[in-house]
Structures are given as C-alpha cells and as structure tokens.
Amino acid sequence: MTNTHADPTPSQQRPIDKRLRAIAYSLDCLIPGLYLWLGPLKFRLGGSTAEANYPGTLHSRAGVAVVLPGYRIYSTYQGSYDP
C-alpha cells in the first residue's frame, strides 16, 4: 500500500502571518506588552518580532492578552503556540 495523501507543497500551505507569529512569540517569551488579534486585525503594543526559526503561532482567530513586567500574563488565549 502507498500513501496517497502527500504533504502539501510550500505553495499550498497557508501563508505565515508574521504579525500573528510576533504576537505568539511575544506571549511565549513573556515580553511585556498589549496584544490583540481579531481575524485580519492584529495589534501589538510592545513585544518583539519572532525569531526566524520560531515555529509557533496562535491557533485562535480572536483574543486579547496583556503581559506585565514580572512575568504576569492575562490572556483570553488558552491554546498552544506549537504548530
């Protein structure tokens, strides 16, 4: 038997949203800031851009988070950042 379900080619995969990846990276690293994502709207006040090899993303279409100094995080997001 052969596997007829091949992995999608890079052109068939969903494009990476750099703004959403930056939010995921900032939340994962607990970088202080205010983060909001709602469909196509992404807002990041503070935080940092994601490293080139960072694979994580948010698996939610909407959410809000606040990361305060001292590693305090308040977020509506409860999912994983891993792909």
Domain total in the chain: 1
Model pLDDT for residues 52-67, shown as the tens digit of each residue:
999 888 888 999 999 9
Model pLDDT for residues 26-44, shown as the tens digit of each residue:
999 999 999 999 999 999 9
Which domain covers residue 58, as residue numbers? 18-75
Are the C-beta atoms of residues 24 and 43 closer than 8 Å to each other? no
Q: In this structure, is residue 47 part of a structural domain? A: yes
pLDDT at 12: 47
Tokens 């948010």 correspond to: 58
pTM for the full predicted model: 0.76
Q: In this structure, is residue 8 part of a structural domain? A: no
- The 3-state DSSP class for residue 56 equals coil
Backbone dihedral region of 16: left (phi > 0), alpha (psi from -120 to 50 degrees) or beta?
A: beta
Q: In this structure, is residue 29 part of a structural domain? A: yes
What's the CA gap between 15 and 33, in Å, rounded? 25
Amino acid (one-letter) located at 74: Y
Q: In this structure, is residue 1 part of a structural domain? A: no
Are the C-beta atoms of residues 77 and 62 closer than 8 Å to each other? no
Q: In this structure, is residue 61 part of a structural domain? A: yes
14 pLDDT band, cuts 50/70/90, is low
